[in-house]
A and B are shown apart, each in its own frame.
Chain A
Amino acid sequence: KNQVEQSPQSLIILEGKNCTLQCNYTVSPFSNLRWYKQDTGRGPVSLTIMTFSENTKSNGRYTATLDADTKQSSLHITASQLSDSASYICVVRPPDNNDMRFGAGTRLTVKP
């Protein structure tokens, strides 16, 4: 069973609308949780990173939240743009500098 589960698997929204992507993880404890954006045909690019003691982090129109008690994180995208169409991957790093655990990603499509 994957240690990082994301939902929904895919999502279609209209340009200008907001959306929220979910990430549930079982990695515990953990060092940090990161959200990546992966455009089609490109490598993942980091959007936000949070340690276990942080509960929110913003990067422009992207806001990530973290609830370490429920082991859930969300990525909220405000006023979506066509360029937001991409896969969004949740990644959790265990402690002791072990390798990252990747979720399967949510495929977001923003339509005009």
Chain B
Amino acid sequence: EAGVVQSPRYKIIEKKQPVAFWCNPISGHNTLYWYRQNLGQGPELLIRYENEEAVDDSQLPKDRFSAERLKGVDSTLKIQPAELGDSAVYLCASSFPGQRDTQYFGPGTRLTVL
């Protein structure tokens, strides 16, 4: 069974440029999460989707970050414009509905903003 797929794995951009990350969760996992992990830190939740609905986006910096999960399957996280402090690993995770303590993580996208 395929795990959570993320792309790209690495991205280097200059500040003020836009960037987008893509995530395809495990088949059948209706719940999808985007996390940001700074170097030497644990992941921090940015947004959680139940199907296509964003049910918790309280930690998403909405001035520059946006996310979508239009068909309730794969998802895109966008930053526009990127800032130096956005350099981090962006992790996607998924779980079955009602099993939010059993999340499966993707490999992440490492973003470097120059």
**Which residues of A are in contact with B by a Cβ distance under 8 Å?**
4, 9, 31-32, 34, 41-46, 49, 89, 91, 93, 97, 99-100, 102-105, 107
Q: A97-B100, A99-B48, A100-B101 are in contact. Are A43 and B42 (CB under 8 A)?
A: no
Contact check, B101 vs A34: say whether CB atoms are below 8 A apart: yes
Contact check, B40 vs A32: say whether CB atoms are below 8 A apart: no
A6's closest neighbor in chain B, by CB? Answer: B42
List residues of chain A with CB within 8 A of the CB of B4: 43
**Which residues of B are in contact with A by a Cβ distance under 8 Å?**
4, 9, 40-45, 48, 56, 91, 93, 100-108, 110
A100's closest neighbor in chain B, by CB? Answer: B101
A sample of 26 inter-chain contacts (CB < 8 A) reads A4-B42, A32-B101, A34-B101, A41-B9, A41-B107, A41-B110, A42-B107, A42-B108, A43-B4, A43-B91, A43-B105, A44-B91, A91-B42, A93-B100, A93-B101, A97-B100, A99-B48, A99-B100, A100-B45, A100-B100, A100-B101, A102-B42, A102-B43, A104-B40, A104-B42, A107-B40
Contact check, B107 vs A43: say whether CB atoms are below 8 A apart: yes
What is the minimal beta-carbon distance from A30 to any residue of chain B, in angstroms?
10
B10's closest neighbor in chain A, by CB? Answer: A41
Contact check, B44 vs A49: say whether CB atoms are below 8 A apart: no
List residues of chain A with CB within 8 A of the CB of B107: 41-43
A31's closest neighbor in chain B, by CB? Answer: B101
CA distance A99 to B57 in the complex (A): 12
Q: Which of A43, A44, A99, A107 has the most CB of B within 10 A?
A: A43
What is the minimal beta-carbon distance from B39 to any residue of chain A, in angstroms?
10
Known: A43-B106, A105-B42. 17 other contacts (CB 8 A): A31-B101, A32-B101, A41-B110, A42-B107, A43-B4, A43-B91, A43-B104, A45-B105, A46-B102, A97-B100, A99-B48, A99-B56, A99-B100, A100-B100, A100-B103, A105-B41, A107-B40
CA distance A75 to B54 in the complex (A): 34
B48's closest neighbor in chain A, by CB? Answer: A99
A97's closest neighbor in chain B, by CB? Answer: B100
